[in-house]
């Protein structure tokens, strides 16, 4: 499925509902943990990068579920979740948790992407 794929890793995560219910904000965190730039073309991922991406997807989904969802969403009883996103609008202009470089925001695929320009390869 990934061979010759021209879409970016962010496109893979957020378009066509490959993972139903996965939103842009959680996808940003997965790409941050995988240390991948959102525009990275899927077809150009190395074996190691694919493993990092897969592990980041599984790890993030487990974290979000274990913490009862996102902190800015509420369950049926009005209780907010405990998962705090690392790469969202609030991260813009702040230091990267990994390397300290300033997080930047770029418009992309009809939304925005947030990323560290230093520790993530394009
Ligand atoms: Zn960084």
pLDDT single digits (tens) 87-109: 888 899 999 988 999 999 999 88
**CA 96 to ligand 1 centroid distance, Å:** 5
**What residues form DSSP beta bridges with 8?**
41
The whole-angstrom separation of Cα 45 and Cα 76 is: 40
What's the rounded Cα separation, in Å, for the pair 116 and 111? Answer: 17
Terminal alpha carbon distance of the chain: 21
What is the structure's pLDDT at 45? 92
For 70, list phi and psi in degrees, rounded to 5. Answer: -70, 150
Cα(103) to centroid of ligand 1, in Å? 8
Low-confidence ranges of the chain (pLDDT < 70): 1-4, 121-122
Measured in whole angstroms, the distance separating CA 107 from the mean position of its chain's CA atoms is: 15
Annotate 59-110 with DSSP letters as a single string.
Answer: HHHHHHHHTTSBTTSB-TTS-B--BPPSSSGGGTTSBPTTT-PBPEEEEETT
pTM of the model: 0.84
Please answer whether residues 29 and 11 qualify as being in contact, where contact means their C-beta atoms are separated by less than 8 angstroms: no
Give distance in angstroms: CA of 20 to centre of ligand 1. Answer: 29
Q: Tell me if residue 56 falls in helix, strand or coil.
A: helix
CA 32 to centroid of ligand 1, rounded, Å: 9
How close is the Cα of 66 to the center of ligand 1, in Å? 26
Ligand 1 centroid – CA 91 distance (Å)? 12
């Amino acid at each position: 499925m990934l061979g010759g794929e021209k879409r970016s890793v962010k496109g893979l995560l957020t378009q066509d509902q490959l993972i139903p219910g996965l939103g842009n904000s959680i996808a940003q965190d997965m790409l941050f943990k995988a240390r991948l730039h959102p525009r990275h073309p899927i077809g150009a991922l190395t074996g190691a990068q694919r493993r990092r991406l897969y592990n980041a997807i599984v790890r993030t989904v487990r974290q979000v579920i274990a913490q009862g969802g996102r902190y800015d969403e509420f369950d049926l009883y009005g209780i907010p979740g405990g998962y705090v996103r690392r790469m969202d609008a609030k991260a813009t202009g702040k230091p990267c948790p990994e390397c300290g470089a300033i997080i930047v925001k770029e418009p992309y695929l009809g939304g925005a992407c947030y990323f560290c320009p230093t520790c993530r390869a394009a």
